[in-house]
């Protein structure tokens, strides 16, 4: 397991813990391995979008509007 994959796994496990604390286990569904894999995929997608946003802003800072 790469460092990135370990990071994704740890973040997903923490996110599931927060979801379970807030909303419960959904009759045990959130304790299943497929749910962890789903959350890990979600985190990878978020990371890709974030990286592309940063890259786009560095390449052409005027393309993205300032929303601050």
Q: What is the mean pLDDT of residues 38-59?
A: 92
pLDDT tens per residue, range 2-29 = 999 999 999 999 999 999 999 999 999 9
DSSP the chain: --HHHHHHHHHHHHHHHHHHHHH--TTTGGGSHHHHHHHHHHHHHHHHHHHHHHHHHHH-TTTSPP--
Percentage of the chain beyond pLDDT 70 is 90
Does residue 58 carry a pLDDT above 70? yes
CA dihedral 1, 17, 34, 26 (to 10 degrees): 180
- Entry pTM: 0.80
Q: Compute the mean pLDDT over every residue in the chain, rounded to the nearest whole number.
A: 92
Q: Give the residue, 60 or 7, on which the prediction is more confident.
A: 7
What's residue 64's pLDDT?
61
């Amino acid at each position: 397991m790469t460092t990135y994959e370990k990071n994704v796994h740890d973040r997903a496990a923490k996110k599931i813990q927060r979801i379970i604390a807030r909303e419960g286990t959904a009759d045990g569904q959130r304790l299943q391995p497929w749910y962890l894999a789903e959350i890990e995929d979600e985190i990878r997608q978020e990371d890709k979008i974030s990286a592309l946003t940063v890259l786009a802003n560095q390449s052409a800072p005027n393309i993205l509007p300032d929303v601050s």
